[in-house]
Chain A
Amino acid sequence: MSIYSDAKYTDVPLEKKQELFDEVKADMRYDHQLYGCYECGICVAACPSARFYDFSPRVFAQVMAREDVDTFYELLNDSVWDCSQCFSCTRCPRQNNPGGIITIMREVAVNHGMQSAKDALKAYSRIIYKIMSTGTQVAPDMLQPDFFPDWGPDVKQVSDNLDVWRRCVPPETMHTTELAWDVSEKTRLELYMIWKLTGNLEMIEKIDEGIFMILEEVMEELLEENGYDIDDYENLLEEEEDE
């Protein structure tokens, strides 16, 4: 039972909260990111997110150090996505790393397909798709007047002749409009293997099945063309080791 009389999520069974908490604690990074907390607030003072949101890296450190499982669950739902992961908080005198704890908590939230994680990441599905399928993020053709009206009339001029403007950039690899730069097939192949082998693709499946299916199709095609079986991990690994 929470120590707070204004506790939230009292309907969620303690066992569930404990399971999630234990998963965070079991992460190999955890022990090096959290010691005790003085609750001194140096991390909050350094935190850019804390200036704009009702967010406090201190609360993460103190709640985790106290092993307050109920309040941990509140944080996992309500504030874990408010951190900008800049790690300014690592100036902690106890050598805590609240940002690092948050990284682990986010992974646990995603792996459990928590609704709050889905909601928080919804707006990023286009970026996730772009990065994971092409290896680049913002593409030149995103620069359209409709998207960025606040950028003024010059945007229209650039977007109308995007191809010409891009060809003015010296490196040939940047003569692209749909991608930020040319990504070679070999690079994409390696990226797909990394997404797959590190479990990133599985994490995407937990939070956005639509994007996952599209991504898997794109990846499968390229991998198969090159003689890899996407569902055969050992085959992917062995090929890597042979090289």
Chain B
Amino acid sequence: MLKKNVLVIGGGPAGLEAARGVADLGYPVKIIEKADRLGGMPILADYAALTPNMVNAEEAMGEMIQRIENDELIDICTSTEVIGVSGSSPEINVNLKGPEGEEHIQPGSVIVATGFKHFDPGKETQMYGYYEFDDVITLVDTEKMLKAGKFVRPSTGEPPKQVCFIQCVGSRDRQIGNAWCSKVCCGIASKEAIEIRHLLPDCKVFVFYIDMRMYGFWEDEIYWKAQEKYKVNFIRGIVTEVTKRGDQVVVKGEDTTMGRPMEVPMDVVILSVGMEPSEGTSRMAELFQLPLESHGYIESIGGALNTVVTSVPGIFVAGAAGGPADLEDSVSMGGAAALKAASYLRKTGLLAA
């Protein structure tokens, strides 16, 4: 008896939602995750609170994970990777490598939810001194500290008096080849700014931006809140360089709405790093022969009205593997991909009776 299931690759928000969706529709699903635990970036990168609702990341992801555990239709394999793919639907051969060795499976459909990686701010140029100055950190480093319930200057361990975010680091930059907006950094920076002001009411917080992209309810729920309640200083103008002066770092830029040059000493500079396709995403594209769109993410050919379908029959993409995505996008895509994958199984008659 040939029993086909859906293979979900990636245990982050998109993959978890996809696996749950497939099982809820009554189809068997195998979810594999390269890391030793489920949860994806919010868990692996130690996010403190999720954007935009500021719920505890561990609790919220914990709930998602709990919903797929103990479901007899869901087979969860952590520390497991795809190492080889051959054939095509309906005979897709996938070789997996997990803690118990290699395994060969023949899924009826595949959902690729391998996500993104954070831009490495030292990758192309070092103008912001990420690897040079202790007090220049990223959004991700900030999440780690906030998760531990504190925010300090890495160089001294003391609470800072003046902090800034620099937006669009690694995004919207033709020089480094990343022409896209990473969608979430404006919201995350505003969220972290609120958290810092909440922890340290005497600390001034600046956000240097190009445009603030606060879609939908993010507008008043994070942006207005940061401005009006937490008095975060949003200044339109991107920092050109970060230099060292005494025991502080100095940011230089232009306040474009005021038309005035700025030079401001900071205790901590936070780089709002954007998204790039993860290694897993690039690797899966290669193995499953999925064409990439022009920015290097897995191409979805359905346009705005079908966000998860790829040009390879039976293979779907969900979450940031298909392009910059926030949690709302990722989970929505996970659900949509589950539906498409289950429909695919049904239509191709591959589900065993």
Contact = CB atoms under 8 A, between A and B. Distances in A.
Q: What is the predominant secondary structure among interface residues of chain A facing chain B?
A: loop
A6 B260 contact: yes
Given A66-B233, A68-B233, A3 B255 contact: yes
B224 interface: yes
A62 B228 contact: no
A191 to B, nearest CB: 40
B257 A3 contact: no
Interface string B207-241: 00000000000000001100110010111100000
A184 interface: no
Given A4-B263, A66-B235, A94-B224, 4 more contacts: A36-B228, A39-B257, A62-B258, A66-B233
Contacts of A5: 260-263
Contacts of A37: 227
A174 B231 CA distance: 54
Interface string A37-49: 1010000000000
Interface residues of B, number: 19
B224 A67 contact: no
B264 interface: yes
A3 B234 CA distance: 13
B208 to A, nearest CB: 10
A4 B228 CA distance: 23
A219 interface: no
A175 interface: no
Contacts of B235: 3, 66
Contacts of A183: none
Contacts of B206: 3
A59 interface: yes
Interface of B: 206, 223-224, 227-228, 231, 233-236, 255, 257-258, 260-265
Interface residues of A, number: 17
Given A66-B233, A68-B233, A4 B255 contact: yes
Given A3-B255, A5-B263, A58-B257, A39 B236 contact: yes
Nearest to B236: A39
Nearest to A68: B233
Contacts of B234: 36, 66
A151 B236 CA distance: 49
Given A3-B255, A68-B233, A35 B260 contact: no
Contacts of B236: 39
A68 B224 CA distance: 18
12 contacts: A3-B262, A4-B255, A4-B263, A5-B260, A5-B261, A5-B262, A5-B263, A35-B227, A58-B257, A65-B228, A66-B234, A68-B233
A138 B333 CA distance: 71
Contacts of B227: 35-37, 65
